[in-house]
Amino acid sequence: MSTVSDSQAPFFPPIALGCMSLPESFSEAEKVLLKAVDSGISFFDTADLYQKGKNELNIGRALRYRRSDLILATKVGNKWNPDGESWSWNPRKEYIVQALEESLKRLQTDCIDLYQLHGGTLDDPWEEILETFELLKSQGKIRAFGISSIRPNVIRNLLAMNPPATIMMQYSPLDRRPEETVFPLLEETTTRVLVRGAFAKGILIDKPLAGFLDFPEEKVGEIKAEIQESGFSPEAVLIRFGLSEKAVSSLVVGASSVEQVEKLQKAVEECPSIPGELITRLKEKLPKNHYKDHR
């Protein structure tokens, strides 16, 4: 991928490596990160909250020589409290500016490709937040901004004020809440969704069956069986499911080992061969679920 110029918003590849579950050990994290790069992944998503900054430190150190070919995304807003055991929400300008400088140092870069607010409610000072992001863009310290939020009311409000480049939210066969309002809303805009939770906490891959949102274990089992009996790897099916939505640009998929990256690479290669009919059948298995709050 060519280097993104400072004046452009970044291009978002269909797969990003979600770095939250990376090993805390640098040597182990480095193996996972370099394997991802060698597998063709060029998009990495982290947050200053993860491992109290160690996550960003490991990414910056491991990828510093490949930086010009990569897209780095991180998040801001959750501030560790002095006790080191909890965090507080702080979306104010002073904190965002300070936190960005610290993230830049840890990531060993002079510009973040995608800087995301790590949450957000209607009560937040959105004019101040958006002015801060625009200031950081004008300074060349970030290329684009996004938010990580599942709240439809927040998303509508933000689109009316200053549409972000991306919105990160959960989406899978067991969590189709974005289909009701958010996806149709975003399809007609330039804002795109970064999907997290595409594997439904691993329940649809290899984790034990369990209920999910409003769906009891029995219903979850029906979806899992459909996927398992499809003849394709579950990872490939779920990637195809997420990317089939027009509003979705990328799936952020976590990996904590080299083996998981290898499975992800194989799933991405397999994905184009999965028929659309299978995705349709999965959607017909369960009714759409809806957001109960923040509508």
Catalytic site residue from 50, 65, 95, 115: 50
Q: Are 143 and 134 in contact (CB under 8 A)?
A: no
Tell me the Ramachandran region of residue 269: left when phi exceeds 0, alpha when psi lies from -120 to 50, beta otherwise. alpha
Helix (H) or strand (E) holding 243: helix 234-243
Q: Is 95 a catalytic residue?
A: no
d(CA 136, CA 2): 23
Residues 6 or more apart whose Cβ sits within 8 Å of residue 195 = 168, 169, 170, 171, 172, 242, 248, 250, 251, 252
d(CA 193, CA 290): 17
Neighbours of 255 (CB within 10 A): 21
d(CA 64, CA 58): 10
d(CA 56, CA 53): 5
Catalytic residues: 50
